[in-house]
Structure 1
Amino acid sequence: MASTKDAAIYRDVFEANPDPIMVHDADTGTVVRANQAAGDLLGCSPDDIAGMHVGEFSPSEYTTADANDLITEAATSGSVRVEWTIQGPDGQDRLVEVTLERALIDDTTRVVAFIHDVTAVRRQKRKHTEQTQQLQTLMGNLPVVVFTLDPDGVFTYSAGKGLDGLGLEPGELEGVSVFEAYSEYPDIISAVELALDGEEVRVTQEIDDLVFETWYRPVFDDDGQLKQVVSAARDITDLKRHEKRVEALSDATNELLYSRTEAAAAETVTRIAQQIIDRPLAAMWSYDGDDDTLYPIGATAEAADLAGVDTPAELSPMGPESEEHRIFHDGESTVIEDYQALSDPAAPAMPMRTLLCLPLDDQGLLCIGSETVSSFDGDERFLLEILASTAAAALERIERETRLKAKQAELERSNEALQQFAYIASHDLQEPLRMVSSYVDLLDSEYGDDLDEEAAEYMAFAVDGANRMQEMVDALLRYSRVETNAGEFEETDPETVLDRTLDALQMRIEEVDATVTTESLPPVDADPNQIGQVFQNLLENAIEYATEAGVDPHVEVSAVEDDGEVTFTVSDNGPGIRAADREEVFDIFHRAGAHDTEGTGIGLAVCQRIVLRHDGRIWVEPSDDGATFKFTLPAVTEVTSDD
């Protein structure tokens, strides 16, 4: 029998315990006593609980009979643990963990129920379980491979949708050494060894036909020891394939820049088209507008073999009656799902099924085909359409260059004819002129005293005409030799060239009391001899026209540099040039001005041809006083040395 002191201690512990406690009669199952915590749990006083059965306050699956059975079992075996649902004072169900312990109290066998509210714990556990399941679902469906390795390199976890590409199931690698599973992949072994040594590694790795971007991250414990390596591998096979396609497309663009013939362009385009989509059948046609027909200019070897021809040129042309011809004129890329089902194919005997036709603007048609019925994905279509656009631009450029070469050849023939004319002018034409002039002089010397005034005038006309013809032939000869007798471009000081020109004109300048003023002239990239001709012609014209107009000639020469070119200005105080003559003044033998002067009228034409040879311009600037000529020449480009 417990002492009074023990009973007091028992009572104090019983009442002060924060967890609910109920003491049951072992025979009847009724509550004999409950502490305050039990009352708080049920929302009533401990005295109200006394005499109640468990089934009266528990809405769980445990009835009073069930509860009594458990109490009896505890009284017999000594202990029973069970979870009950109890309705709390707030009307909410509370999940409690109940431990029933047999106890001898006041010499009477009792069953003590120690109650622990586990509602929050179970809720947290349930939430954790749900989150774990969600995480597992997420990991199982991510398009990656997630795995962990222990310090010995053994897989401890593997998941992720990326395992499908490797032919593995989630968890299949667990317990397997990475050094055994991937011994044939040295780059993987090397990366794992670095990670196991504590280094974070990011690397691109290939496994058979697949390419993975893999990240290895070591995880350490509090003591700095390696616990595991966490890794994630992303399948980037499609990305790498796309990069290779874009790279091939870029290469094609660069190659097409240097293609000089349709056949060379077609060879590049069909080869790159084959690489971009990994399909062997590709061919290209060029459009001939004269007969409204597309003619083959290139194809892959596989396409030629399938068609049973030795060269691409032997492929079937696409005339107005063919379906491909219609697609070309429609101008839209078109997929023919089954070539064999077409009513009007250009090559009915071609054993081809799916065909993608890409019009090359108005230049031609690119076709990519397959022997089976297969689709083209969006990425393939996009890249091929870019290729087609590039091919169209290349064909257009080649066409322009072909026309330009024809024009160049025609120009060369014309230049050759001009040079031949210059030879004739300098030899064959000048000889008869000299003969005419000589015989006229003989007539004048032998019979001049016998001629009357009118005959003498006729004789003078003949001599003057011969001399003028000689001058015109010489002028044409100078004009033709602007190109043939030209020198190399070099850094030229216009001030030096102008000084030499003024020295040559010094006698004429002094004779007519002319004044020539100059400003600073920037250097140019030019033929110095020809620039001297330009200055001489412009200065001579300015002096002669001003003199003829009865004024003392005054000429000003200046220049400004801007945006890579130097603009020269030569202005005078002469009679000027009529607005109607400002364009024609540069024509051969055209003369302009308010007064007549001697000359052939070819000087400004020579100036224009020289300036054009230097990629410059020459023009007459509108002016109210005198004539103002402007012309441009390329400025000297400064080159800075690295030294």
Structure 2
Amino acid sequence: MSTIHDAARRDAIAAYRLIDDAPCPDLERLVRLAASICGVSTAVINVIDDRWQHQIAAVGFEPALCEREDSMCAAVLSRRTQVSVRDARLDERFAANPFVTGEIAHIRFYAASPLTTPQGITIGTLCVFDEEPGELSPEQSADLALLADQVVELLELRRVSAELARSNEQLAVFAAQVSHDLRNPLTALAGFLELASTSPEMAHAPHAAEALARAEAAADRMTTMVDDLLEYARVGGAVSRCEEVRLDEVTAAVLEDLGPEIRASGADVTVDADLPVRGDETQLRALVQNLLANAVKFSSVNGDAPRVMLTATPVDGAVRMSVDDNGPGVPASDRERVFALMARGTDDHVPGLGIGLSTCRRIVQAHGGTISIDDSPLGGARVSVVLPG
């Protein structure tokens, strides 16, 4: 086996964090299933690096560590296809192996399917064996190969989940640092602008006063953007608390916070959401606030009297919450794009950084729900969220 292949295999194994982590119950269940399907009492997942064979899950014996040169699976690793041997004593690859001779074990029947990553790197095998000669039927052989694929899929899921957790943690730290670094100068800037705009001299300089007012508004928008970025990072990929939350109570608190914006827009906001859901109250409040603020903002675009309606209805053991507006709506071709981070709506005149809907999706997914956009009976957009009841 070439040094290049060994290095690639070692890196792949390290990415899966298989060596030092505690045994994975899901892997142990797959091993047990492999033994049952193949009609043997012993099965193991072997991960093989450049020096060692690591038995990371086993049934019928306690998993252990052995040198690669003693491994039966290492002898067939380069083939990348399933190997099945009726009696290992009669196979020149295994006849002198300590797992066959009795030095370590007395293996006779042996079958192994490779564990090959999506990048084409074989990192080990799913192996079944017995102390009596035997063989696999075509169905058993196919099932063993299928279970080996399932092992790799599970390892990929674990790897992606770990990377996502690290990414979320790094994002939260970064956003917190950015928020801290920007908030102080923004606060100072807003204070100086307010002081200047209230100066007696401004009464005689209307153009300067107007310019200062615009500068104050810009500073406020920047502060809001910083807060949005921090909120987006804080959501992460998990729900920290899961409890019964009343949507009507959450919505009432949100409407109180959004009161100035709603009054300034003249929007008519109606709510019918007298239902409980399961989740994190802080995150759900951020979800409702983002959805309502977005609807109020876009319902004011057409020049008609702005209308926003939030409703919640039970559906198959879950709760569907819909937020409708009479704004311009979202074209079908853009309904996935607007959920991306920093994606703006279809109207460039509407202010915002494009974080709100992305934050909403993170919150909904963390709760095991779904979020989508459709046409609204009010004429604009309907954002629908389905959450566990």
TM-score bracket, shorter-length normalisation = 0.5 to 0.7
Question: What pairs with 1:213-612 in structure 2 (closer than 5 Å)?
Answer: 258=25, 276=41, 286=46, 295=53, 297=55, 312-313=66-67, 316-317=70-71, 331=82, 333-336=84-87, 338-339=89-90, 342=92, 345-346=93-94, 348=96, 352=101, 355-360=108-113, 362=115, 364=125, 366=127, 368=129, 376=133, 381=135, 389=143, 393=147, 399-438=152-191, 463-483=216-236, 488-505=241-258, 509=262, 514-519=267-272, 521-594=274-347, 596-612=349-365
Alpha-carbon shift at residue 634 of structure 1 (Å): 0.6
**Secondary structure, counterpart of 1:532 in structure 2:** helix
Q: Distance in 2 between matches of 1:590 and 1:381?
A: 57
Q: Distance in 2 between matches of 1:299 and 1:585?
A: 44
User: What's the % identity of the aligned pairs?
Assistant: 29
Tell me the equivalent position of 2:370: 617
Asked whether the equivalents of residues 487 and 529 of structure 1 are also in contact (C-alpha less than 8 Å), the reply is: no
Asked whether the equivalents of residues 343 and 354 of structure 2 are also in contact (C-alpha less than 8 Å), the reply is: yes
AA in 2 matched with 1:632: V
Tell me the equivalent position of 2:119: none
Tell me the equivalent position of 2:5: none
**Secondary structure, counterpart of 1:471 in structure 2:** helix
AA in 2 matched with 1:339: L
Q: Distance in 2 between matches of 1:285 and 1:484?
A: 30
TM-score (norm. length: structure 2): 0.66
1:94-126 CA-partner distances (Å, limit 9, x unpaired): xxxxxxxxxxxxxxxxxxxxxxxxxxxxxxxxx
Q: Distance in 2 between matches of 1:534 and 1:298?
A: 41
| Ranges in structure 2 where 5+ consecutive residues have no aligned partner | 1-22, 116-123
Asked whether the equivalents of residues 318 and 388 of structure 2 are also in contact (C-alpha less than 8 Å), the reply is: yes
1:348-379 CA-partner distances (Å, limit 9, x unpaired): 47674994331335552647576xxxx84xxx
**Secondary structure, counterpart of 1:575 in structure 2:** coil
AA in 1 matched with 2:125: G
AA in 1 matched with 2:382: T
Distance 1:486 1:433, change over 3 A: farther
Q: Distance in 1 between matches of 2:153 and 2:54?
A: 20
How many residues are aligned here?
Answer: 348
1:377-432 CA-partner distances (Å, limit 9, x unpaired): xxx6469x969956973x65554444444434333332332232233233222123
Asked whether the equivalents of residues 611 and 633 of structure 1 are also in contact (C-alpha less than 8 Å), the reply is: yes
| Ranges in structure 1 where 5+ consecutive residues have no aligned partner | 1-255, 277-281, 304-309, 636-643
Q: Distance in 2 between matches of 1:511 and 1:452?
A: 26
Asked whether the equivalents of residues 557 and 568 of structure 1 are also in contact (C-alpha less than 8 Å), the reply is: yes
Asked whether the equivalents of residues 53 and 68 of structure 2 are also in contact (C-alpha less than 8 Å), the reply is: no
Q: Distance in 1 between matches of 2:141 and 2:276?
A: 46
TM-score (norm. length: structure 1): 0.43
Alpha-carbon shift at residue 626 of structure 1 (Å): 1.5
Tell me the equivalent position of 1:634: 388
AA in 2 matched with 1:633: L
AA in 2 matched with 1:313: E
Q: Distance in 2 between matches of 1:590 and 1:580?
A: 14
Tell me the equivalent position of 1:222: none
Asked whether the equivalents of residues 319 and 325 of structure 1 are also in contact (C-alpha less than 8 Å), the reply is: yes
Asked whether the equivalents of residues 360 and 388 of structure 1 are also in contact (C-alpha less than 8 Å), the reply is: no
Distance 1:441 1:533, change over 3 A: closer
**Secondary structure, counterpart of 1:632 in structure 2:** strand
The structure, 1 or 2, with the larger RCO (C-alpha pairs under 8 Å, 6+ apart) is 2
Q: Distance in 1 between matches of 2:275 and 2:299?
A: 28
AA in 2 matched with 1:364: T
Alpha-carbon shift at residue 630 of structure 1 (Å): 0.8
Asked whether the equivalents of residues 270 and 308 of structure 2 are also in contact (C-alpha less than 8 Å), the reply is: yes
1:420-470 CA-partner distances (Å, limit 9, x unpaired): 223323322212333444556677788977x99998887666555444322
Alpha-carbon shift at residue 257 of structure 1 (Å): 8.3
Distance 1:468 1:403, change over 3 A: same
**Secondary structure, counterpart of 2:380 in structure 1:** coil
Larger radius of gyration: 1
Q: Distance in 2 between matches of 1:593 and 1:502?
A: 26
Distance 1:621 1:312, change over 3 A: same
Q: Distance in 2 between matches of 1:369 and 1:490?
A: 50
1:158-177 CA-partner distances (Å, limit 9, x unpaired): xxxxxxxxxxxxxxxxxxxx
Q: Distance in 2 between matches of 1:425 and 1:603?
A: 18
RMSD after superposition: 5.1
Asked whether the equivalents of residues 316 and 347 of structure 1 are also in contact (C-alpha less than 8 Å), the reply is: no
Alpha-carbon shift at residue 566 of structure 1 (Å): 1.9
Asked whether the equivalents of residues 86 and 108 of structure 2 are also in contact (C-alpha less than 8 Å), the reply is: yes
Q: Distance in 1 between matches of 2:371 and 2:57?
A: 51
Alpha-carbon shift at residue 481 of structure 1 (Å): 2.7
